[in-house]
Structure 1
């Protein structure tokens, strides 16, 4: 398994636009190193890549990693996106992927409900490209590609649901 960390900062990246804490101030210095929001790419063969989350920084993350660059016209090695939750920090990048011929998304029914009926991200995305939604059941093994599978598991949260009454239960992914 090949894993590439595309971004490792919390929501908003580092530095955060509205923060003057010592860390953000240090990152803004000439010697500082900014970080994009959290997202990773996983592959078994370096030809087919799976994103875990699609941060709002996804365009810059793809440009910084040649393994995700397109081949020829608009053929890309991006196979699918696995969503751990419906947080904006993990899903807004889907809208930047709207020029795809089609998108394959994996997530729990709660995430699907939130992105459809709550935030509306999925409804907007579907107006640009076909979206193939694959339901993920926490605890069940999910085969992604030859030599690559994952298993989602529930992560309890005390965060309030921001997009209506639907649950926004998070799922973390274990790959291998």
Structure 2
């Protein structure tokens, strides 16, 4: 959702440009996708975005698909695969800042739900950034909802590096 929203903000239609966004349905699917779409399959140029905790899955998938032997992060980036510091939600929260994220929650009509959430005993000792991050994952569809809303609010210079680099890789 974040990639497509950012592309639209920049006046781009990735499908029309021949760079469709394909959700994996889970990180363990990366190897299968790369086998089908990459050099041993359809021979398409592929790129991707992953969380830091998923990096080893992407490295193994790239290696198995014939895209390099256990590539390091720099090699992954040269191949178009970018790693978020923790995950995309973390990147977006840091880029937008806690106050902007709070305002987005208000704009999305969920301030009351967030206020209730952050008052739960398990949340009280967490930083506001940790609370915001966890809140985004507590409801089905919320990660996509906030990815779209936060990308719409970001100043172009504040777009997280992995997201900006991925979109830059998707050029003709």
Question: Which one has a bigger Cα radius of gyration?
Answer: 2
Larger helix fraction of residues: 2
Higher RCO, 1 vs 2 (CA within 8 Å, ≥6 residues apart): 2
TM-score after normalising by structure 2: 0.33
Question: TM-score, structure 1 length as denominator?
Answer: 0.33
Between structures 1 and 2, the one with greater strand share: 1
